[in-house]
Amino acid sequence: MATIMMVIMIGLLLLGFPMMVPLITGAVVGFVMMFDGFGQMGTFVQQMMGGIRPASLIAVPMFILAADIMTRGQSADRLIHMVMAFIGHIKGGLAISTATSCTLFGAVSGSTQATVVAVGSPLRPKLLKAGYSDSFSLALIINSSDIAFLIPPSIGFIIYGVISGTSIAELFIAGIGPGVMILMMFSIYCLIYAYINKVPTEERAGWRERGVAVREALWPLFFPVIIVGGIYGGIFSPTEAAAVCVLYAFLLEFVVFRSLKLPDIYRIAKSTGLITAVVFILVAVGNGFSWIISFAQIPQTILEAVGVNEAGPVGVLIAICIAFFVACMFVDPIVVILVLTPIFAPAIEATGLDPVLVGVLITLQVAIGSATPPFGCDIFTAIAIFKRPYWEVIRGTPPFVFMLVAAAGLIIAFPQIALFLRDVAFR
């Protein structure tokens, strides 16, 4: 049954169908084979509806809406200006500013695609003018945006938390350490690249200019304070934090900055509604698919066949990293989390692994795969936004992928990189 389901899904995917079609077709075929017909199809529909019933999923459209408001407004530009004022003058400063801006905007949006658009659009022309190659600039923007998947709020953490039953608040704070570590790795590489390629430095900003930049960016900088401080101060839950972020983004862009007008609300709401619909359809279908394969004990069969259950905790983590990394090179990240997480759940439970550590590694692999050829979703976002050919977009990615894989290895070897802040906040 598992073989037939996979053949159908891969075949439909290769024929160009949207991911939800192969997923639901494979699940329905598996259901029919398992229950000998469509008589119990209501049970499958109930499982699908159950996938989108958790209240914590309300945070997903809220964070998408907040990110959309800020992307169309001035928040991203103000954050970029502040970062440039402080580190733009050092060797490789513009590239380091790009990586830092992606991290900061990720802390207010939680979306890799929104980060590519909001940060990449204004900074790519500056990188090219400063002497950086287009392949390096595109790779830097794409891979730095992946830090947004680790820095709270992260939509990937929300989906994983709902599927696995792991605390979203713990996942949020556990992502900060790895995100900062990756930013430091990228910054060192940017510094080395600038020295090797003799990239000129930018003009140093005066302290007066820096003060103005900080004052202008002060309001957007309150986003991570609201999210992290509110959640860990016990003021509100992650879902309530998402709602507060929407209100704050609305007041900021429509009232304080006045960068958006009331007619813009329709376009923003429409865009958010379309993205949310796709996400929730994938979550519903993915939950139905996960129920089918769990009911048929397919995960246990697969794990026993490849010997993962006997591999020990480190072996299981390495297997998880490889599976999620490879899968996200071909399939949408949300779908990968929905499908693969239940498959590895028995091995995670059997080896006694910390689900928060597993969640950080899964989200990191999802981020890496999203920016890795052949079909990483961030690659095609960059192609659409920057109007550059496929090969030029992916040419500069190998060094960044290597650093991200190395970061995953460091987290496996030293779990406290991810768990230290979690333990401080919750233990």
Give the chain's radius of gyration (CA, Å).
22
pLDDT at 307: 66
- Tell me: the pLDDT tens digits for 119-140? 888 888 888 988 899 999 999 9
Task: Count the helix, strand and coil residues of the chain and give each as a percent rounded to the nearest 5.
Answer: 80, 0, 20
Full-model pTM? 0.83
Distance of CA 265 to the CA centre of its chain: 25
- Specify the residue for token string 């073989």: 3
- Rounded CA-CA distance 242/154 in Å is 11
More confident residue, 399 or 309: 399
Average pLDDT for the chain: 85
The pLDDT-based confidence of 309 (bands split at 50, 70, 90) is low
Domain range annotation of the chain: 54-426
Taken in order 313, 319, 324, 325, is the CA torsion positive or negative? positive
Residues 100-118: pLDDT tens digits? 988 888 777 767 777 887 7
Residue 408's pLDDT band (cuts 50, 70, 90): very high
Q: What string of DSSP letters covers 168-218? A: HHHHHHHTHHHHHHHHHHHHHHHHHHHHHTTPPPPPPPPHHHHHHHHHHHH
